[in-house]
Structure 1
């Protein structure tokens, strides 16, 4: 009973915040989100300290304490901007999003289109991937399929699913659906439609080993496996913010020719995806929003008072 009440309160809190942010004038909403990001950074919770540790790796350990603290604050402000924009995307509208979007590497997608092939886009949690989805729906002239982690409470997951489908995306749950998500994705691609997957965190147990920012990590092999099974073009892409809008960078197609065995080809391809992520994230590390653990040997930083 207590857990149900807490879940209901969580959902009501998100719903109230969602409605409030949509009603605010854009400058006010941006200012409130920026203040919230600073506040969260100042609290120094476990997620913030994990983000700080992740950013140390992403910047090659070259920043001193004050520089890393400042980067972490910018990253939390960027993450708050993502949520503020996510809540307001339907109000912003497709025309505004397209106007303020810069797409780098569009020629790679055009090549796949000329070849009549669907696309598997692999992305990290960087910039505003929902805004990238709005651009992609417009370019495709129809929906793409993505996978979403089930949130708790279930009503909150349903709220986010409905929101993303209003943007033109189609969503299948990572777990708990009527059919395995991998099966649904494969059928979608076989039918000629495209897929987007966020893959810089391995949420399952079947990831493949890669070097990510020079350290061993695991990433889901799904993007490469799907491309190998269906003939789709596999493209890494990384998003970041500009002052007024969004920059999305699409990298060249990743070949699936890493050896005679399927697993070897998948591992080699996912290493190429990890390398593209490293390249793209390095351009704007403050826009990489991962407050969870990426590397087994990189735990959260200690609290500020215990770093001596």
Structure 2
């Protein structure tokens, strides 16, 4: 049954790329918007969790305002998927030019690369991070990122092929020939760019941070790599505009050696929080994020793991 479901998922994504790419853009946009509104009305687990997450981001919102925000959030999430399926048939040079007109803080990236130690760009699950990657390839060349090894393997290969066709270098988070942390450090020492999503890691490997006033965990990887290699750690904000995309490359966060990873990750969380609070509908977090939302056993396991860990801030991406 698991293999069957995996095969169905693989075929579904394949159909998404084929059909969405072949459809007129207005039709594709309308279909995905309709699907988002339908999902919002049905109120499944992901929609319910999105509402709980957004209630923390905008605690002053009343129920009607939260209803509107969840609807807009689902439409934003659907827009991400529609654009992702259409990217293979889009004019990528035109995408780069459109982003180039709105992106801010590029001087922070250029300055980091001028120093010669590479740059770690850390993003939350907001806006369209694949479009950010398209812009980056045209601006600074191929960059390196990591991807979870989805099941079935054919689905994982399909996503890797999609992003490699856009010019990304994609490393599996596990099961590769070498640990991704080793390869990422090599790329940074070659004065290249590494991009990592950095707003969720609810495991013992995550760094405890305070996010919108509550405890969660975020990946150690971005700050750890910066500490290990001397690369600049640059938070990136990402959102949609009415006709395109907005991005902001923030100034670097200082990482004071391996023992400063925890403080740097908290600083990263603070930058993410400010960007998300300014455009909450474009934050696509339909999963549990805060420790308080986890089942009691999992919360207890995280607490035991925290107590057992030495507070060095070290960790693998």
TM-score by length of 2: 0.89
Select between 229-238 and 114-123 the one with higher mean Cα deviation: 114-123
Please show how residues 145-224 of structure 1 align to structure 2 within 5 Å.
145-202=144-201, 204-224=203-223
1:296 aligns with 2:299: no
Q: Which residue of 2 aligns with 1:138?
A: 138
Task: Provide runs of 4+ in structure 1 moved above 6 Å.
Answer: none
Is contact 1:127–1:239 with CA below 8 Å preserved after alignment?
Answer: yes
Three-state SS of the structure 2 residue aligned to 1:120 is strand
1:26 aligns with 2:22: no
1:160 and 1:22 mapped to 2: Cα distance?
15
Select between 287-296 and 100-109 the one with higher mean Cα deviation: 100-109
Give 1:191 deviation, angstroms.
Answer: 2.1
1:31-81 per-residue CA deviation (whole Å, 9 max, x = no partner) reads 11111111111111111111110101111x111111111101100000000
Is contact 2:50–2:287 with CA below 8 Å preserved after alignment?
Answer: yes
Give 1:125 deviation, angstroms.
Answer: 0.4
1:93 aligns with 2:91: yes
Is contact 1:125–1:198 with CA below 8 Å preserved after alignment?
Answer: yes
**RCO higher in 1 or 2 (8 Å CA, sep ≥ 6)?**
1
Q: Which residue of 2 aligns with 1:80?
A: 78
1:170-198 per-residue CA deviation (whole Å, 9 max, x = no partner) reads 11111222222112211221222110000
TM-score by length of 1: 0.92
2:193 and 2:237 mapped to 1: Cα distance?
17
2:10 and 2:202 mapped to 1: Cα distance?
23
Is contact 2:127–2:238 with CA below 8 Å preserved after alignment?
Answer: yes
1:142-192 per-residue CA deviation (whole Å, 9 max, x = no partner) reads 210001112122111110100000111011111222222112211221222
Give 1:90 deviation, angstroms.
Answer: 2.1
Quickly say closer, same or farther: Cα 1:191–1:204, change in 2 above 3 A: farther
Give 1:111 deviation, angstroms.
Answer: 1.4
The unaligned stretches of length 5 or more in structure 2 are 296-317
2:262 and 2:281 mapped to 1: Cα distance?
28
Is contact 1:21–1:88 with CA below 8 Å preserved after alignment?
Answer: yes
1:262 aligns with 2:261: no
1:272-292 per-residue CA deviation (whole Å, 9 max, x = no partner) reads 100110111112100000111
Q: Which residue of 2 aligns with 1:281?
A: 276
What do you get for the CA RMSD once the two structures are aligned? 1.4
Q: Which residue of 1 aligns with 2:63?
A: 65
The unaligned stretches of length 5 or more in structure 1 are 301-308
2:116 and 2:189 mapped to 1: Cα distance?
12
Select between 189-198 and 80-89 the one with higher mean Cα deviation: 189-198
2:26 and 2:117 mapped to 1: Cα distance?
41
Three-state SS of the structure 1 residue aligned to 2:246 is strand
